[in-house]
Amino acid sequence: MKTTDPQAMYSEWMSQLINQTPWQEWMKPATSLSDIPLIDTLREAGATIDAVALARLQNEYTQEFAKLWQDFTMSKLPVLSDRRFSSEDWRNHAMHSYSAACYLLNARFLMAIAEAVEAPAKTKQKIGFAVQQMIDAMSPANFLVTNPEAQTRLIESKGESLAKGISQMLADMQKGRISQTDESAFEVGQNVATTSGTVIYENRLFQLIQYTPLTKTVHQRPLLMVPPCINKFYILDLQPENSVVRYAVEQGHTVFLVSWANPDEQLSEVTWDDYIEDGAIRAIEIVSQISKQSQFNIFGFCVGGTIISTALSVLADRGLFPAASLTLLTTLLDFSDTGVLDVFVDEMHVAMREQTIGRQGLLPGRDLASTFSSLRANDLVWNYVQSNYLKGEVPPPFDLLYWNADSTNLPGPMFCWYLRNTYLENKLKVPRALTVAGNPVDLGAIKAPTFIYGSREDHIVPWQAAFASTRLLNPKQVDQNIFVLGASGHIAGVVNPPTKKKRSYWVNAATARTADEWLANATEHPGSWWPVWAEFLAKHAGKMVKAPVKPGSAAYPAIEAAPGRYVKVRAG
């Protein structure tokens, strides 16, 4: 197996299936661990496996396999707790039930073997990730010949399900990605990204949207929102009932938002410095000019938080402090712990990117989308292979998955700088280790109370890494910083409106030096963390004044209605 890209892996597995090559060796029952090819593969690669651990695993495997075989000979069906095999079709057919049980047994011990490898932590992480990718790809649920649900559907539909599945697979091959939702059900500006507003500025990197007030009076100090540039901003404005943007407007804030351009070849030489100077800093200048406020609330989400924090540090070195407060949602500033994404970052990978697109070029949005999908391959890849292709089902409309498929390119020079200086070398947290837009970067020079949010099940920004920002920002008044921990993951934890009354969050008013210390004394509350954030914003937003009659100003007149043209550009 030469690739860990799930979509490429599926093509390879299907090719192997058609040609009857030894992919079955990974799935079939084995009387000994030594019969499983992974051990030979690891040894050929020079990996050392702890002999004591391997002997213990061999003994456990033999016992569990013997028990499974005994149950099979006695017509006792195995218990399949994995949701991939939860339908009655798997339990009603002994051979399929046994096939799934053998797969799960082998999968568990394959991962145990990977864990027994004696290697540095990062090497073990890479091995574990690659093995997990192969395990996910080898599930009998992924192939027509071993999926009883798909076979039942094939018979019941008299072949129509397979014909439709093949048609959908061919259509996806043309798109270059697996369809996760009915994309025809959505249109940006029509039923997603619908909060009323006006584009009042644009340059080659972004459009600036000013949203229409929903209250007669507003806070004197506006709110500037900087979303990530690696995907579209409307994750913060999907539907009126779960829109972070609309919620802030409803709380009486004049909201400005950066809508990043989707780069093409004309932006192939854009750098990180450009994103800071001509992007974030330019947006700060315009908001200040329109609102006539020297300070206002500033917000950054994910990479947008990294960008705006860098910009505020650059401005601090210039003697400017525009942030009355800073909000960072699932943002990395200290890249010591980058979670599962760490498997994609090493010197060889970064150097390869620098050689190919470091001076000029684009990182295609589909590459980023494929990477993020591989982090949850069963949910975001194989689940749709089974439903779309094997069963011929049409994926239902889902706004979040429509947004997920609306990928964004990145300029090569900008991406390579970001990859090396943050993920690989972790220099952003080191005072004055980096120079951006002509100024040394010192995050500790940002003098603003900070609201920091992390999601407990976030696999992209581990919540402990988000918490680390509390010690980097506003260090002389760290007691003014607030950390809130939400339930769920990177997106679902953020997009959790109070009206839904879902999930929960944790708060701890006392300062703590470590994430574990903070959590040990934190209190869990049901529902959304948004009201806690709203209270924080209001505290730093100034007095209430009459809402502006029209957007922009004489210097920054209306250009077009929100959400603007930039967000509608699809990645090539």
- 3 state SS of 494: coil
- Do 411 and 268 meet the contact criterion of CB atoms below 8 Å apart? yes
- Do 536 and 214 meet the contact criterion of CB atoms below 8 Å apart? no
**Residue 416 known to be catalytic:** no
CB atoms within 10 A of CB 560: 13
Q: How far apart are CA 7 and CA 372, in angstroms?
A: 12
CB atoms within 10 A of CB 358: 18
Q: Quick one: tokens of 528?
A: 């959304």
Strand pairing class (435-436; 410-411):
unpaired
SS (H, E, C) 184-253: HHCCECCCECCCCEEEEEECCCEEEEEECCCCCEEECCCEEEECCCCECHHHHCCCHHHCHHHHHHHCCC
φ, ψ of residue 504 in degrees (nearest 5): -160, 175
Q: How far apart are CA 202 and CA 197, in angstroms?
A: 14
Q: How far apart are CA 537 and CA 253, in angstroms?
A: 9
The DSSP element (H or E) to which 27 belongs, if any, is helix 24-27
Strand pairing class (362-363; 410-411):
antiparallel
DSSP assignment letter at 277: I
CB atoms within 10 A of CB 248: 26
φ, ψ of residue 255 in degrees (nearest 5): -100, 125
Strand pairing class (435-436; 255-260):
unpaired
CA triplet 17, 23, 25: central angle to 5 degrees? Answer: 135
Q: Quick one: tokens of 389?
A: 């292709």
Q: Quick one: tokens of 429?
A: 């947290």
- Which residues does the annotation mark as catalytic? 302
